């Protein structure tokens, strides 16, 4: 079995993996990307709509354009790329060396040995089994991301009469895309009393095309034998199905946009501790997981709403992997916890020596909210937010001088709340 040796191995060749690998390589260390698809770019390649790159490239790009910019930088660098290659397992570390056992139709079975590893496997969609819609099991039911790939890459229209379950961003974008393709999108059904996608997509993908959005409704039954024929839709009153008001919508295709989950089967198998709130790994202030020398970034860590934020976070992970390779991660770290109305905070540790960048998700929908950062009940920072909702990620940074106010606190614990 052939062996390859690198300073840093990056698992995944999407936006996160490419940004992290470039950061490692520019510091003079040897990096490799192991990507299971036959090209770099990840999910960006099927996102042909605009809206990417405003932060990173200062211009509005499509997903393939954004991915293409990074691919060009990768191939112009010294980063080694293994395409059509899957990491099957991360073995036990041999001293400071991690072993990645890989399989490829091109290269066969091989091992990558590296002093550090960056997890950048992205995320996957939740499916019908995750939400348990009752009814028959006909053809025509698929995730919105699969439909996006069929339409934008493979050139197939999965159906003509569409209903979408869930108002996540991919579902909203596909409502517009299917309408542009000559299909009829009858409705978007959302169980929550508020949309799951960002406001921009609600306006541009639903309201601009007069597509109905049913909030506080569920698909209570799927009907059809060989092909889906209709769905029953039931409103919720105080969270309870009001079955007397159930109505039926005819359709030949049901698209599911019911959330994304970090792709962490490989992490779990490697014994990396995972956060049950976001399903990504627990990480310290350097984005290092519970396994020494293994870092995580992008959607495998927590699901982002903008690829520009993925890129920024992944560059940080790459820079921290370089510090690890130089044995420069010496700061003492302290606990970060989620406060009132906060679902999760990433990372879960902080230190007093570096600028800290935190990402969090709200559990509530609120206008004129305040983000409060406290250390042992000492208010460190307060940031006004015009609007918060669970679908939109919030970013808060803390400078060293802001943290310096409480360096004398014993056993400091940082808490971020929304009030």
Q: What is the CATH number of the domain that holds 194?
A: 3.50.50.60
Domain count, the chain: 3
pLDDT at 55: 87
What value does the mean pLDDT take over residues 383-408? Answer: 88
pLDDT at 134: 86
pLDDT at 416: 97
Residues 374, 270 share a domain = no
pLDDT value at 30 more than 90: yes
> Whole domain around residue 65: which residue ranges?
2-124+261-330
Residues 150, 117 share a domain = no
pLDDT value at 199 more than 90: no
Last residue of a domain, which of 330, 348, 374? 330
SS3 call for 218: strand
Band (pLDDT 50/70/90 cuts) for residue 331 is confident
Residues 326, 247 share a domain = no
Instruction: Tally helices (H) and strands (E) across the chain.
Output: 9, 28
Residues 222, 160 share a domain = yes
Last residue of a domain, which of 308, 330, 352? 330
Residues 206, 188 share a domain = yes
pLDDT: which is higher, 403 or 382: 382
Q: Which of 268, 161, 163 is nearest to 219 (CA)?
A: 163
Residues 215, 131 share a domain = yes
Which sign, positive or negative, has the C-alpha torsion 68, 84, 141, 236?
Answer: negative
pLDDT: which is higher, 55 or 324: 324
Residues 81, 34 share a domain = yes
- Beta strand 108-119 pairing with 294-296: parallel
Q: Which of 81, 83, 86, 115 is nearest to 98 (CA)?
A: 115
pLDDT value at 409 more than 80: no
Looking at residue 363, what DSSP letter applies? S
Residues 152, 52 share a domain = no
pLDDT value at 133 more than 90: no
* Average predicted confidence (pLDDT) for the chain: 94
pLDDT value at 95 more than 90: no
| 318 contact partners, CB below 8 Å, separation of at least 6 | 8, 19, 20, 21, 22, 23, 24, 118, 297
Residues 23, 67 share a domain = yes
Band (pLDDT 50/70/90 cuts) for residue 406 is confident
What's the longest Cα–Cα distance across the chain? 68
Last residue of a domain, which of 206, 237, 258? 258
Percent pLDDT > 90 in the chain is 82
pLDDT, tens digit, for every residue of 209-268?
999 999 999 999 999 999 999 999 999 999 899 999 999 999 999 999 998 999 999 999
């Amino acid at each position: 079995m052939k062996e390859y040796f690198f300073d840093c191995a990056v698992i995944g060749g999407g936006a996160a993996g490419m940004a992290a690998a470039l950061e490692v390589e520019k510091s003079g260390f040897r990096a490799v990307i192991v990507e299971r698809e036959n090209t770099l770019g990840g999910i960006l390649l099927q996102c042909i709509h605009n809206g990417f790159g405003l932060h990173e490239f200062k211009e509005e790009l499509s997903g393939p354009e954004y991915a293409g910019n990074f691919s060009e930088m990768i191939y112009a660098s010294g980063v080694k790329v293994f395409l059509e290659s899957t990491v099957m397992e991360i073995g036990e570390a041999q001293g400071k060396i991690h072993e990645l056992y890989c399989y490829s139709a091109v290269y066969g079975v091989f091992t990558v040995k590296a002093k550090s590893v960056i997890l950048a496997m992205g995320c996957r969609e939740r499916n019908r089994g995750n939400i348990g819609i009752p009814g028959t099991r006909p053809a025509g039911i698929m995730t919105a991301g699969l439909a996006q790939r069929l339409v934008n890459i493979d050139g197939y229209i999965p159906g003509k009469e569409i209903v979408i379950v869930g108002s996540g961003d991919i579902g909203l974008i596909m409502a517009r895309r299917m309408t542009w393709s000559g299909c009829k999108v009858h409705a978007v059904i959302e169980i929550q009393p508020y949309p799951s996608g960002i406001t921009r997509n609600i306006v541009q993908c639903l309201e601009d095309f007069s597509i109905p959005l049913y909030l506080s409704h569920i698909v209570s039954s799927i009907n059809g034998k060989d092909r889906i024929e209709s769905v029953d839709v039931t409103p919720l009153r105080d969270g309870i199905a009001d079955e007397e008001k159930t109505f039926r919508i005819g359709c030949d295709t049901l698209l599911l946009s019911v959330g994304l989950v970090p792709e962490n089967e490989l992490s779990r198998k490697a014994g990396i501790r995972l956060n049950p709130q976001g399903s990504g790994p627990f990480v310290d202030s350097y984005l290092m997981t519970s396994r020494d020398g293994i870092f995580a970034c992008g959607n495998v860590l927590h699901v982002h709403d903008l690829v520009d934020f993925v890129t920024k976070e992944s560059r940080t992970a790459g820079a921290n992997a370089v510090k690890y390779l130089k044995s420069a991660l010496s700061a003492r770290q302290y606990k970060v916890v989620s406060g009132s109305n906060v679902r999760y905070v990433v990372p879960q540790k902080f230190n007093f020596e570096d600028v800290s960048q935190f990402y969090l998700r709200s559990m509530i929908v609120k206008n004129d909210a305040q983000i409060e950062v406290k250390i042992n009940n000492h208010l460190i920072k307060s940031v006004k937010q015009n609007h918060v909702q669970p679908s939109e990620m919030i970013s808060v940074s803390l400078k060293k001088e802001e943290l310096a106010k409480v360096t004398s606190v014993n056993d400091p614990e940082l808490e971020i709340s929304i009030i």
